[in-house]
């Protein structure tokens, strides 16, 4: 027998209890109701069935639970309390049984003296109903049953039940006196019905016949398919939630825990029983629960930093309310571990750094120059791109040496391989050594966590651009010479040479010949690098290119600042051509950038009024700037500082290390100021 529990001791519960006891197919484990005088509780005591106030006091391992309280919320609680195999019959379904029982009793009580009124009632329901007497002859059939059996009501009365339904089991009900529920039966036309059979008892307790209530199985099958689909969806959702790497928690509308997944346990350190049916704040160690906030405001809460669990794990929480048919049902939260996020951010930064380092961005089409000097440099660069010769780019700061290096790589047969850029003056000699050649594990303090490939290895089969090559230390010069001669590199702390096939493009703004005489640069390395020297002319020697360069820079700056400046006025161009541009194209970009910032958003033409002319009025002899007394103090100070830096660079012949030493500032500070004033 199947074990059954009835929750609700009212009239409905009493009717269900009688029905189940009389059927003989079920064993009622107990009845629960908070009212001690409920009818079903008194009825249960007659049958020596346990009665309690709370359903949790009854056995948990049962087959069927009838909820006849009419409380849908209680139905949800019962589904969570009992195991999945237990069938929870909600009040709506239980009420059907109650209604059928009421209709059965009504029919029996009225059959003898109000048969006409009874037939009207039964003819109005959708379910088919057939009644037989003790001789198995039909004495009642309603319209729905006649329609399903394809007969007329008056023609069916008095006929043997087996003439209409050959497989009918109603005669057995008369023999046994027991109720049978939800039995499947096939009719003559092949259609199937689901039927429930009941004995008919008069007011004296005597058996007077039996009747059946049946329904077209099509509706039942449709309902079963819906239930199956819901179960499949539920199974899929559970699988998704359980397999998610993000911690997920769900609470009900009161803020009590309903569900968590394994990732939640892993991140918070809390087991399922520590949060299920507990307040949503149970997992919070620092901060307030965002579940409660989402339930109160009925709005999502995103990106909140909290600490959860006994280990006070730092997490980022996103919570959203669950609203169905405009009714708040609860909320769902997703917890992201910030430790993993930080790790991913580091990997992303590293990937971005590698991408910036390992790709070329410019081609020869990006180099603007119609002057004869620039055209000669372009022809030499294009020739160098078609060979594997080492290239030495020479020119002042800001002339576009790096632009040429990009273009040479992009136009060479190595264009689809890596392009690595290294500023030899931007880092210390020791750090540059490690970056260029790499190191084995344990060779340096930084290498305790493992070995590292050098940039020369990263650039294998590609190109490496060594900017400010004149700043290399003697030790690195020696190691670089070996790379150029033997085509192999050696990591710091390594014992085995690593073959590399890399094309070297170097650049410098220093006087290399003077460095050779001073002994600060190896002569043999210089001749290796100087196989294909390309001199890039300064902007002052090709001022006819300024208008085209300005047009290209405006396109770039418009994208950066969200502007739509279309041109520069002729008078402004004349001012730009009058200036000697010691900082070359980089300084020109700096001036245009500052001018654009102070333009109105709807201005489309840059005029001389927008250009800081005080920066362009230089004395030819000393390159000093004339500063009007009306200029702001900060602008006057910056103008003076720029002049000092420019003169110091000229005196040091462009050597930035000597410039920094002369000015008694760090090399890093010097680079910052040179970039700030467009002198780099």
Query: For helices 546-561 and 584-597, what crossing angle results, to 10°?
Result: 50
Supply the DSSP string of 417-461, one letter for each residue.
S-EEEEETTSS-HHHHHHHHHEE-TTSSSGGGG--EE-HHHHTTT
**Phi, psi of 371, deg, nearest 5:** -70, 155
Q: For residue range 77-120, what is the model confidence (pLDDT) as tens digits?
A: 888 899 988 888 886 666 666 666 666 666 656 554 555 555 56
Q: Is the CB of residue 395 less than 8 Å from the CB of residue 376?
A: no
Q: Indicate the angle between helix axes 11-23 and 39-46, nearest 10 degrees.
A: 30
Strands 452-453 and 438-439: antiparallel
Give the whole-angstrom CA distance, residue 231 versus residue 225: 10
| 325 or 380, which is more confident | 380
Residue 541, pLDDT score: 87
Q: What is the pLDDT of residue 105?
A: 64
pLDDT digits (tens, 9 = 90+) for 658-673: 888 888 888 878 887 8
**Average pLDDT value for residue range 468-479:** 91
pLDDT of residue 614: 60
pLDDT of residue 629: 52
Mean pLDDT value across residues 62-82? 87
Q: What is the pLDDT of residue 633?
A: 67
Say if residues 337 and 315 touch (Cβ distance below 8 Å): yes
Cβ contacts of residue 200 below 8 Å, gap of 6+?
Answer: 104, 107, 108, 111, 131, 207, 208, 209, 210, 211
| pLDDT, tens digit (0-9, with 9 covering 90-100), for 340-372 | 666 666 566 555 544 445 567 888 988 988 888
pLDDT confidence of residue 152: 87
For 37, the token pair is 């005088």
**Considering the chain, what is the average pLDDT of its residues?**
82
Look at residue 675 and tell me whether its pLDDT is greater than 90: no
Mean pLDDT over residues 466-474, rounded? 91
Residue 625 in contact with residue 631, Cβ under 8 Å? no
Torsion of CA 224, 225, 230, 232, to 10 degrees: 120
Residue 636 has pLDDT above 90, yes or no: no
Instruction: Please tell me the predicted confidence (pLDDT) of residue 670.
Output: 85
Calculate mean pLDDT across residues 510-516. Answer: 87
The reply to whether the predicted model has a pTM over 0.75 is no
The pLDDT-based confidence of 624 (bands split at 50, 70, 90) is very low
List pLDDT tens digits, range 22-35.
Answer: 777 788 899 998 88
Rg (CA), the chain: 45
Question: pLDDT, tens digit, for every residue of 113-141?
Answer: 555 555 566 677 778 888 899 989 988 88
The DSSP letter of residue 278 is S
- Rounded mean pLDDT of 213-240? 68
SS (H, E, C) 74-88: HHHHHHHHCCCCCEE
């Amino acid at each position: 027998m199947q074990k059954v529990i009835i929750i609700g001791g009212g009239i409905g519960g009493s009717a269900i209890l009688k029905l189940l006891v009389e059927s003989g197919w079920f064993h009622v484990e107990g009845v629960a109701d908070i009212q001690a005088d409920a009818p079903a509780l008194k009825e249960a005591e007659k049958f020596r069935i346990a009665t309690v106030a709370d359903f949790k006091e009854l056995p948990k391992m049962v087959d069927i639970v009838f909820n006849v309280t009419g409380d849908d919320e209680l139905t949800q609680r019962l589904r969570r309390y009992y195991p999945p195999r237990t069938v929870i019959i909600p009040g709506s379904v239980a009420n059907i049984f109650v209604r059928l029982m009421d209709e059965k009793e009504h029919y029996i009580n009225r059959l003898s003296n109000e048969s006409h009124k009874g037939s009207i009632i039964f003819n109005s329901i959708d379910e088919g109903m057939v009644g037989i007497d003790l001789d198995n002859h039909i004495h009642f059939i309603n319209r729905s049953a006649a329609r399903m059996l394809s007969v007329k009501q008056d023609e069916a009365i008095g006929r043997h039940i087996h003439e209409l339904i050959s497989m009918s089991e109603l005669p057995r009900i008369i023999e046994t006196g027991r109720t049978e529920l939800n039995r499947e039966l096939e009719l003559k036309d092949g259609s199937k019905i689901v039927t429930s059979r009941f004995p008919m008892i008069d007011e004296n307790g005597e058996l007077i016949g039996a009747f059946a209530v049946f329904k077209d199985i099509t509706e039942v099958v449709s309902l079963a398919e819906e239930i199956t689909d819901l179960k499949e969806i539920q199974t899929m959702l559970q699988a998704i939630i359980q397999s998610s790497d993000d911690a997920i928690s769900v609470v009900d509308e009161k803020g009590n825990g309903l569900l968590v997944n394994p990732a939640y346990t892993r991140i918070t350190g809390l087991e399922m029983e520590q949060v299920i049916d507990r307040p949503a704040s149970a997992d919070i160690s620092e901060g307030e629960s965002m579940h409660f906030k989402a339930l109160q405001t009925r709005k999502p809460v995103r990106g909140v930093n909290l600490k959860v669990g006994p280990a006070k794990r730092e997490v980022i929480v996103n919570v959203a309310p669950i609203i169905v048919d405009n009714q708040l049902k609860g909320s769902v939260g997703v917890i992201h571990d910030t430790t993993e996020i930080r790790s991913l951010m580091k990997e992303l930064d590293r990937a971005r750094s590698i991408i910036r380092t390992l790709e070329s961005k410019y081609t020869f089409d990006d180099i603007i120059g119609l002057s004869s000097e620039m055209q000669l440099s372009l022809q030499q660069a294009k020739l160098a791109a078609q060979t594997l010769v080492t290239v030495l780019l020479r020119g002042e700061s800001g002339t576009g040496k790096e632009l040429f290096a990009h273009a040479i790589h992009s136009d060479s047969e190595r264009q689809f391989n890596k392009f690595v850029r290294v500023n030899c003056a931007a880092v210390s000699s020791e750090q540059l050594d490690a970056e260029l050649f790499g190191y084995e594990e344990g060779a340096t303090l930084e290498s305790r966590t493992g070995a590292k490939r050098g940039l020369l290895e990263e650039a294998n089969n590609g190109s490496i651009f060594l900017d400010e090559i004149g700043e290399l230390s003697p030790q690195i010069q020696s190691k670089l010479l070996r790379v150029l001669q033997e085509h192999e590199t050696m990591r710091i702390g390594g014992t085995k040479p690593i073959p590399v096939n890399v094309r070297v493009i170097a650049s410098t703004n220093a006087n290399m010949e003077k460095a050779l005489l001073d002994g600060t640069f190896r002569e043999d390395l210089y001749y290796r690098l100087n196989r294909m020297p390309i001199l890039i002319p300064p902007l002052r020697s090709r001022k006819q290119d300024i208008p085209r360069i300005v047009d290209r820079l405006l396109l770039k700056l418009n994208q950066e600042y969200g502007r739509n400046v279309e041109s520069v006025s002729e008078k402004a161009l004349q001012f730009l051509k009058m200036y000697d541009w010691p900082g070359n194209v980089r300084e020109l970009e700096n001036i245009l950038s500052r001018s654009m910032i102070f333009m109105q958003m709807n201005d489309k033409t840059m005029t001389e009024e927008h250009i800081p002319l005080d920066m362009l009025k230089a004395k030819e002899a000393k390159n000093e700037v004339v500063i009007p007394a009306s200029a702001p103090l900060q602008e006057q100070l910056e103008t003076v500082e720029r002049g000092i830096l420019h003169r110091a660079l000229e005196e040091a012949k462009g050597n930035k290390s000597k410039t920094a030493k002369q000015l008694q500032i760090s090399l890093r500070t010097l680079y910052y100021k040179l970039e700030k004033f467009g002198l780099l």
